[in-house]
Structure 1
Amino acid sequence: MRFDVLTLFPELFTAHLTVGINRRAYTQGLVDVHLWPLRDHADDAYRRVDDRPYGGGPGMVMLAEPLERALAAVQAARAAAALSEAPRVIHFTPTGRVLDQAEVRRWADAPGGAVLLCGRYEGIDQRVLDRHVTDELSLGDFVLSGGELPALALLDAVARLQPGVLTADSHEQDSFSGDGLLDCPHYSRPEQLIDADGAVRAVPPVLLSGHHGQIARWRREQSLRLTATRRPALIVAARAAGCLDAADERFLAALQREAQL
């Protein structure tokens, strides 16, 4: 799949595309990322891509014409690469749909990828958004300086779902995957950590038992406990989807009784 990123700061993407385990997705072409510096599509000596807003007010607005030229260049490049279907265009904005794992999977399964439109300043001329944008995404109810961080988050989340990037089934155990619950805690060596005051923090004995059934149940219960405590709405959704069995419900009932004591 191909992602074309329109940005004022292409250098923010360079390290992400060349380090870490997800680089496999980029170097092997599983996720084909093309960076389009917006200032290359300005038409004056100052390479201006922004100006004051009509109607007054603080800040600057990204100009329509450089963005239109950049989008036309992306369309031409995609056509030359035999990608004739018009791509989806994602605008990252606090007013968009919150990016979650289900949305990430939708993009990970979309062979055509998308154009990622990274705004800056007070925003982008609305006429560009009205004409080109098909999807709007947000990382949450807060404001960032631009669309680059959300674009990187989407690329990272999509890349790790591509076949061969992670070890087999690794992402299936992640939070929000499968049944939609939070992941359980994980431990590694050493078996005991000794704090400065001499307190010992040990790995839960069940994980050292070698009893795979008991380990699986412990992990499931820890997942249920975390989810019920921190994101109870996910328990409701999992129950509605039929993802909880009788043992899960007994454990959740015990948790509820414990909380009432």
Structure 2
Amino acid sequence: MLANKSSLKRRLQIVELVRKRGEVSVDELSQAFDVSSVTIRTDLTYLEQQRYLIRSFGKARYLAQKPGDHVLTPMADGATRKATETTIARFAAEAVDDHESLMLGTGEIVHKIVPFLSDRSNLAVLMHDIGMIQTAQRFLHCELLLTGGQLEQGASAMTGPDAEASVTRRTVDLCFLEASGLDRDGNLLCADPAVARVLDAARRASTRTIVVAYQPQLNERDGEVIANVSEIDALLIDDGIDPPTMELMPRKGLQLHRKESGILEFRKSAS
């Protein structure tokens, strides 16, 4: 009998078993994992949605991945993505208390955090993305600061040595960063090197760091590192990440806390 400590571990084992054998029946899986056929069908439905396998006539067949496919997630339309990003932002905002100083990085999800902070009092908010200023002025009644720095043509985020130095000179209780990528070593990535340097400086200068992401591209190193998951306090992400990535988080000291609407929070373990 195969080990069955959790649904996640079982699903990982199902994928590996189907991959090795090519095709496995529901009854065989039920016996192998000592769970009901209903439980196995639920697992297979999830894994089919994640494009790991195909279900057919009571069996599961392995779905070979095309070269370069690292994120095995169901396709989401624009409306679904926006709704998911908003939910991630709402949960992220719950970490903010009154009287705190914040650093807001750049990115759609970080931008969406701002309205959820409207009921907080006595915040001090440092931004390096001028695209968020109007939203912040509309929803926040607090001290708003810009990092300063250079603004490249077509960009909205302030970068350069002045922006990096501005972050390190201030007391920051909590910074919110948005990752566009994640590699197999747990490095959180940003596509823009100049922005990445500001975000890395903010992370180093902050007491706490929360990273948000929507289906980040999983690859060896396509982007600049802003943090390793072992260096942050929490990662809020949708559930469209692959099982190996799920397994990586506990090894890096982050424990899974499932939220509603398919949102996952990987939070630093209590010491």
Q: Into which bin does the TM-score normalised by the smaller protein fall?
A: under 0.3
TM normalised by structure 1 equals 0.25
Query: Which structure dedicates a bigger proportion of its chain to strand?
Result: 2
